[in-house]
């Protein structure tokens, strides 16, 4: 049996959480909103448990714990010999780099500008303004203009008064230039993708983000020099990716050496199987409880921001997925290649928007909306991938591997 067959056969939807995942997602979203509304003190306390960099919440400790529990079962299953082989797969790596950095930032700009600056302009309010931080190192007199903003004084502090829709646009752009890292390992796993290749693509995109995040952000936002949140990037990558990666690698070696590979695969991995899904569902409850009040008090605002983000995600997914088919990639390589572009590194986007524009800015709100729609939307794309395996190379063996055995 080929590695691809084994990869997919090991991931039949046997648990009640996977088989009824859509229902569980809906219930967890409702539970999260209700928790935020009925017990706001609990939600606010959990939300406050974070690691801050320059006043911006970069790592939510409760979310970090859930992400570790999501990532560890995936990381411990990875055979790092296969990772080395996956690293030699040039086409899927090139595809994800091309889509993430040559296309995605610019389509996000065009889509967000059309919807927020044109189609929804009057709904948001032609006179609606937002107060954001002054750009780093800029000292202008009151009444001076900078870009689309005007310098004003609020409680003794100079700030920029900008059109509200432009603030939302800035938040969308910060999401558009930050491709997903940690969570794409979950989406790739759920879509029966190649975990080794996903890990390679995460590593390469993380390094590329360190180089291009500030350049693209500064160009698209028009703020001149956008400060790269080095600490936020490194901290989030270290906690969300490196920590479970090291834990999975070391424990895999130790357990196989102590108990043998048969016990590891048949006993240990069997116990871990539902943990990723359970941790994902708990993450949903936490995310929606943190922002439940925002959703209830600003439903239309959430909608105006969510529409361009939804369209952008679908466009990038189908573009990457279609190109993967044209390149004749295997399904297990095509699925994660499309997922990594469709999803966003929301931790970095939130941290950057808070540092640049302020915690209460429209830009920060837009990045939060990105968080709220990301998990349900990516789970929908996972289902699309699983229903379209026959579009790709080796589809026959994929389908055969999913059939129950007899005898």
Write down the residue that tokens 């229902």 correspond to. 23
The domain ranges of the chain are 3-127+165-402
pLDDT of residue 223: 53
Examine the pLDDT at 19 and tell me if it is beyond 70: no
CA gap 330, 191 in Å, rounded:
13
pLDDT tens-digit map of 226-252: 444 566 656 766 777 778 888 988 998
Q: How far apart are CA 314 and CA 324, in angstroms?
A: 15
Q: Which among 339, 347, 352 has a CA at the least distance from the CA of 313?
A: 339
Q: Which pLDDT belongs to residue 4?
A: 47
How confident is the model over 295-314, as pLDDT tens digits?
A: 777 788 889 999 999 999 99
pLDDT of 285 reads: 87
pTM: predicted TM-score of the whole model, two decimal places: 0.76
DSSP code string of 206-264: HHHHHHHHHHHHHHHHT-SSPPP-HHHHHHHHIIIIIHHHHHHHHHHHHHHHHH-HHHI
Q: Report yes or no: 68 and 243 within 8 Å, Cβ to Cβ.
A: yes
pLDDT of residue 356: 74
Structural domain 3-127+165-402, CATH architecture: Up-down Bundle (1.20)
Q: How confident is the model at residue 398 (pLDDT cuts 50, 70, 90)?
A: very low
* Model confidence pLDDT, tens digit, residues 331-377: 999 999 999 889 887 777 877 777 777 767 888 888 888 878 888 89
pLDDT value at 254 more than 80? yes
**pLDDT at position 197:** 81
15: pLDDT strictly greater than 80:
no
């Amino acid at each position: 049996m080929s590695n691809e067959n084994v990869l997919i056969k090991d991931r039949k939807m046997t648990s009640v959480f996977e088989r009824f995942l859509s229902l569980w997602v809906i219930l967890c979203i409702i539970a999260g909103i209700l928790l935020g509304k009925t017990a706001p003190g609990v939600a606010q306390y959990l939300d406050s448990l974070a690691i801050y960099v320059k006043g911006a919440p970069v790592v939510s400790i409760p979310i970090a714990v859930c992400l570790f529990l999501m990532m560890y079962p995936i990381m411990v299953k990875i055979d790092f010999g296969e990772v080395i082989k996956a690293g030699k797969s040039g086409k899927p790596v090139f595809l994800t780099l091309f889509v993430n950095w040559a296309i995605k930032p610019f389509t996000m700009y065009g889509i967000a500008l059309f919807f927020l600056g044109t189609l929804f302009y009057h709904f948001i309010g032609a006179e609606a303004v937002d107060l954001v931080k002054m750009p780093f190192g800029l000292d202008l007199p009151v009444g001076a203009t900078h870009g689309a903003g005007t310098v004003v004084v609020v409680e003794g502090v100079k700030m920029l008064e900008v059109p509200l829709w432009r603030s939302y646009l800035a938040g969308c752009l910060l999401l558009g230039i930050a491709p997903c890292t940690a969570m794409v390992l979950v989406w790739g796993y759920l879509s029966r993708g190649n975990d080794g290749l996903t890990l390679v693509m995460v590593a390469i995109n993380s390094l590329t983000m360190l180089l291009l995040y500030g350049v693209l952000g500064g160009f698209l936002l028009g703020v001149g020099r956008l400060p790269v949140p080095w600490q936020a990037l490194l901290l989030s990558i270290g906690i969300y990716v490196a920590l479970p990666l090291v834990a999975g690698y070391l424990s895999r070696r130790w357990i196989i050496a102590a108990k043998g590979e048969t016990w590891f695969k048949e006993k240990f991995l069997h116990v871990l199987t539902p943990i990723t899904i359970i941790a994902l569902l708990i993450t949903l409850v936490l995310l929606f409880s943190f922002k439940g009040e925002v959703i209830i008090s600003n439903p239309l605002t959430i909608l105006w921001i969510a529409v361009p983000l939804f369209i952008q995600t679908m466009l990038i997914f189908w573009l990457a997925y279609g190109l993967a088919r044209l390149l004749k990639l295997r399904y297990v390589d095509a699925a994660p290649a499309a997922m990594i572009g469709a999803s966003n590194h929301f931790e970095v986007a939130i941290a950057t928007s808070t540092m640049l524009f302020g915690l209460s800015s429209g830009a920060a709100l837009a990045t939060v909306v990105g968080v709220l729609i990301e998990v349900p939307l990516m789970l929908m794309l996972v289902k699309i991938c699983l229903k379209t395996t026959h579009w790709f190379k080796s589809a026959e063996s994929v389908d055969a591997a999913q059939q129950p055995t007899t005898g």
